[in-house]
Amino acid sequence: MTDHCRLCHSTNLRPVIDLGQMPIAHRLRHSRNEQEERYPFEVLACGDCGLPQIVKPIDPDILYRQFNYNFSSWKPEPHQVDELDTIAKFSSHQSVFEIGCNDGLFMDKLRERGAKVLVGVEPNPVSGKIARERGISRAQVALAWVLAKPVVSAPIVGVTKDQHLDDAVAAVDVRLTAEEIARLEEPYTPHAVVGF
């Protein structure tokens, strides 16, 4: 349980959203009768520095036990068809709401398979635009932004795949312009959800 901000250590935490007990998104059941593991998903924001944070993070050994990839056009996706087929077994996926949709590749594939209503949320859509403009990954943009901050003296990067390490190393040579940094930092304007 978080009782202080992970960034500034303030105890001035305020609730943002509590989604209750949620399944792990990438942990698909093998049958309808299989018991689904659920974990609390509550987000607080620090009243001093503004950092949103999960109150009770899932132990990484549990979270990544059956990790099955993410979908984005910047890398090969050999398991994408299997993932789509697995989803199709349990749902007609006529309406899809994807959090963390990256560049929308997976939603495009769902659309090709007949999904009618698709809503994707990416925490910061600007990072994808800058990444496309520069021909680099979103991770490199994010790490370059961190490296551009004078208050960050030693960024810690969690590497679970070779690509993560490649992105981290490549980000060292990325210099974001002042305009790009401003675009990344401007407040995100929420958009209305349509189609439901």
**Whole-prediction pTM value?**
0.39
pLDDT in tens, 22-70: 888 767 777 888 888 899 888 888 888 777 788 788 887 777 666 555 5
How high is the pLDDT of residue 70? 54
Query: Residue 153 has what DSSP assignment?
Result: S
How many angstroms from the chain centroid is the CA of residue 4?
A: 23
Residues contacting 160, CB < 8 A, separation 6+ = 64, 67
Whole-angstrom Cα distance, residue 24 to residue 27? Answer: 5
pLDDT in tens, 119-132: 665 556 677 788 88
